[in-house]
């Protein structure tokens, strides 16, 4: 049975992706294949949507709703487009200096406070340059955070690809290039660490040319800027190039209508409850708005900028923390503002039912296949607790990558927020190890775990958590049998050692 979606006369690419239950990157990739170059916050009309759904072969019926039916569409009718700041994702291989460069740009020192010296969350910040704003997204470089990096690439107008001059192109460098091509996002290359003796700018340019990023001085069209986070060399030029790229693309957004955008990250905040960092892509988000992000909805109770200062509203390309959700929203999904609480609640409930339907969509044949496989696989039971949605996704993806045909991690439960008594009791019943990532564990919970004999482990660096789980999985493997051939030789005589 075909599913029905309703849209107005136009819809943003990000909101369409949410309605179609497709990754935004996949939708943009399909548009690019059909010669349509659009970013997430640009709008497409009803007829184009209908054609796109047919091309994708989706079992979805699209209907056009009356503009008067939804408050968002009524306000869009009076939309006024104005120039907006560029949104820039800083991407690259782990330890190539992404956060150090952002620290230099903003005059902060975030990198020294990061566990293991690496970024493990996607974060947003806005900087001023020549009386204009630029929004930066810093993405994690560790391989386990691939989903978070792809999410960051989809959010942006431009990717600044950081490549260390002393290390060259690495795995996550290539991955970032792939994400950019998939999303149709332009790349500006920043060759970092040029102050080091081993720096080789020419070699980096040669390596990137193999991935279709040809520097202007080599006859290509990709902007390359050598930079040093230590000395500040090239930083001013890099910011100039970002603004130049934004001017060429003529980035615009609705500056008056109801807000829409994407959830960058979400977490349980002490004193705030379910909260999310969102990036406004269209319109203006205000305190008191009724917000919907998938199955999560609520009335905006508090808006904070990235310095935790309270603000009354946020315009396009602005990241803000929002509190007031009834439940924790998923990261990476679109949000919209509705005119009334009734409309917002109805939309969230509809999204929730669709999610429940998808969750129970496994066929009996698939279920039997999984059961048969599990009978042959040794399982390590685990309960995962993390600080934010992005971290939880990264940990779960990392654990899945460790599974083999012989051993696997069975996730008994997972969630965002502090460890509870219920988590400990569940671990006891299921004989699961509790893995806590980037969250504090109270003395009471540690004491309870010890009393019940529950293995409770805490981590602040993801690769340490994954290494521990890998070790636990290896212990489940059967001992390796080695066949030893016994050979008998006849003794023909004996030799007495010489005294010389």
Same domain, 241 and 95: yes
The mean of the pLDDT values for the chain is 81
Cβ(266)–Cβ(276) below 8 Å = yes
Report the relative pairing of strands 3-7 and 60-64 from DSSP bridges. parallel
Indicate whether 348 pLDDT > 80: yes
The last residue of one of the domains, among 321, 344, 359, is 359
Residue 401 lies in a domain: yes
The last residue of one of the domains, among 315, 332, 359, is 359
Q: What is the pTM of this model?
A: 0.69
For the segment 378-406, the average pLDDT, to the nearest whole number, is 90
Of 34-38, 148-152, 404-408, least confident by mean pLDDT is: 148-152
The last residue of one of the domains, among 304, 335, 359, is 359
Q: How confident is the model at residue 307 (pLDDT cuts 50, 70, 90)?
A: confident
Instruction: Report the pLDDT value the prediction gives residue 208, as an integer from 0 to 100.
Output: 94
Q: How confident is the model at residue 443 (pLDDT cuts 50, 70, 90)?
A: very high
Same domain, 106 and 246: yes
Same domain, 218 and 349: no
Residue 415 lies in a domain: yes
pLDDT tens-digit profile of 170-198? 988 998 898 888 778 889 999 999 999 99
Q: How confident is the model at residue 58 (pLDDT cuts 50, 70, 90)?
A: confident
Instruction: Report the pLDDT value the prediction gives residue 463, as an integer from 0 to 100.
Output: 84
Report how many domains make up the chain: 4
Same domain, 163 and 197: yes
pLDDT tens-digit profile of 247-291? 998 888 888 889 988 888 888 887 788 899 999 988 999 999 999
Report the alpha-carbon distance of residue 480 to residue 164 in Å, rounded: 42
For the segment 390-409, the average pLDDT, to the nearest whole number, is 89
Residue 452 lies in a domain: yes
For the segment 142-147, the average pLDDT, to the nearest whole number, is 51
Burial class (CB in 10 A: 0-12, 13-18, 19+), 470: middle
Same domain, 262 and 317: yes
Q: How confident is the model at residue 225 (pLDDT cuts 50, 70, 90)?
A: very high
Same domain, 368 and 353: no
Residue 72 lies in a domain: no
Same domain, 34 and 123: no
For the segment 234-242, the average pLDDT, to the nearest whole number, is 94
| Higher pLDDT among residues 157 and 47, named by residue | 157
Q: How confident is the model at residue 480 (pLDDT cuts 50, 70, 90)?
A: low
Residue 70 lies in a domain: no
Report the alpha-carbon distance of residue 380 to residue 258 in Å, rounded: 48
Q: How confident is the model at residue 103 (pLDDT cuts 50, 70, 90)?
A: confident
Report the alpha-carbon distance of residue 321 to residue 346 in Å, rounded: 24
Instruction: Report the pLDDT value the prediction gives residue 117, as an integer from 0 to 100.
Output: 46
Structural domain that includes position 370? 364-476
| Higher pLDDT among residues 394 and 28, named by residue | 394
Residue 71 lies in a domain: no
Alpha helices in 34-145 (DSSP H): 46-56, 71-76, 98-106
| Higher pLDDT among residues 361 and 261, named by residue | 261
- CATH number of the domain within which 148 lies: 3.40.50.300
For the segment 95-107, the average pLDDT, to the nearest whole number, is 82
Residue 494 lies in a domain: no
Instruction: Report the pLDDT value the prediction gives residue 363, as an integer from 0 to 100.
Output: 45
| Higher pLDDT among residues 276 and 499, named by residue | 276
- CATH number of the domain within which 290 lies: 2.40.30.10
**Phi-psi group of 212: left, alpha or beta (phi > 0 → left; psi -120 to 50 → alpha; rest → beta):** left
Same domain, 290 and 418: no
Report the C-alpha dihedral over residues 35, 261, 248, 245, rounded to 10 degrees: -110
Residue 440 lies in a domain: yes
Instruction: Report the pLDDT value the prediction gives residue 362, as an integer from 0 to 100.
Output: 42
Report the alpha-carbon distance of residue 412 to residue 246 in Å, rounded: 47
The first and second tokens of residue 157, run together, are 């107008």
Same domain, 315 and 373: no
Report the alpha-carbon distance of residue 112 to residue 336 in Å, rounded: 36
Same domain, 91 and 212: yes
Alpha helices in 407-490 (DSSP H): 421-430, 443-452, 462-476
Same domain, 268 and 223: no
Report the alpha-carbon distance of residue 175 to residue 143 in Å, rounded: 10
Same domain, 184 and 54: no
């Amino acid at each position: 049975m075909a599913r029905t979606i309703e849209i107005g006369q136009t819809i943003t690419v990000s909101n369409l992706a949410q309605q179609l239950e497709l990754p935004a990157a996949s939708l943009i990739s399909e548009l690019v294949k059909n010669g349509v170059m659009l970013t997430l916050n640009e709008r497409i009309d009803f007829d184009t949507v209908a054609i796109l759904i047919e091309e994708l072969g989706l079992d979805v019926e699209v209907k056009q709703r009356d503009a008067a039916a939804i408050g968002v569409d009524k306000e869009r009718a009076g939309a006024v487009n104005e120039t907006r700041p560029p949104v820039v994702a800083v991407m690259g291989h782990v330890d190539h200096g992404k956060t150090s460069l952002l620290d230099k740009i903003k005059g902060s020192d975030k990198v020294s406070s990061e566990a293991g010296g690496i970024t493990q969350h996607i974060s947003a910040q806005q900087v001023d340059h020549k009386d204009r704003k630029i929004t930066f997204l810093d993405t994690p470089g560790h391989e386990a955070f691939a989903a978070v990096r792809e999410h960051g690439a989809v959010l942006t107008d431009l990717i600044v690809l950081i490549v260390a001059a002393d290390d060259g192109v690495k795995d996550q460098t290539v991955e970032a290039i792939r994400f950019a091509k998939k999303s149709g996002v332009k790349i500006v290359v920043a060759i970092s660490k040029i102050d080091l003796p081993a720096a080789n700018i020419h070699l980096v340019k040669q390596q990137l040319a193999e991935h279709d990023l040809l520097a202007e001085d080599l006859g290509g069209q990709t902007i390359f800027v050598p930079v040093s986070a230590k000395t500040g060399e090239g930083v001013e030029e890099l910011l100039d190039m970002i603004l130049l790229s934004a001017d060429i693309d003529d980035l615009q957004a609705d500056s008056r209508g109801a807000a829409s955008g994407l959830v960058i990250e979400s977490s349980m905040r002490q004193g705030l409850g379910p909260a999310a960092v969102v990036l406004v892509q269209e319109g203006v988000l205000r305190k008191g708005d009724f917000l919907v992000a998938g199955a999560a909805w609520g009335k905006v109770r508090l808006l904070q900028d990235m310095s935790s200062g309270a603000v009354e509203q946020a315009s396009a390309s602005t990241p803000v923390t929002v509190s007031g959700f009834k439940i924790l929203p998923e990261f990476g999904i679109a949000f919209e503002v509705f005119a009334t609480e009734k409309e917002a609640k109805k939309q969230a409930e509809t999204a929730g039912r669709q999610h429940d339907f998808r969750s129970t969509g496994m066929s009996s044949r698939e279920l039997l296949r999984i059961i048969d496989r599990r009978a042959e696989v040794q399982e390590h039971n685990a309960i995962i607790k993390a600080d934010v949605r992005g971290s939880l996704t990264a940990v779960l993806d990392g654990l899945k990558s460790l599974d083999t045909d012989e051993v696997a991690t069975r996730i008994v439960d997972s969630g965002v927020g502090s460890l509870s008594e219920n988590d400990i009791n569940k671990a006891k019943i299921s004989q699961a190890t509790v893995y806590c990532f980037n969250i504090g564990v109270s003395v009471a919970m540690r004491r309870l775990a010890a009393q019940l004999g529950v293995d409770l482990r805490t981590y602040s660096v993801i690769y340490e958590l994954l290494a521990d789980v890998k070790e636990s999985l290896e212990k489940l493997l059967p001992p390796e049998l080695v066949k030893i051939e016994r050979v008998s030789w006849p003794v023909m005589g004996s030799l007495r050692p010489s005294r010389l």
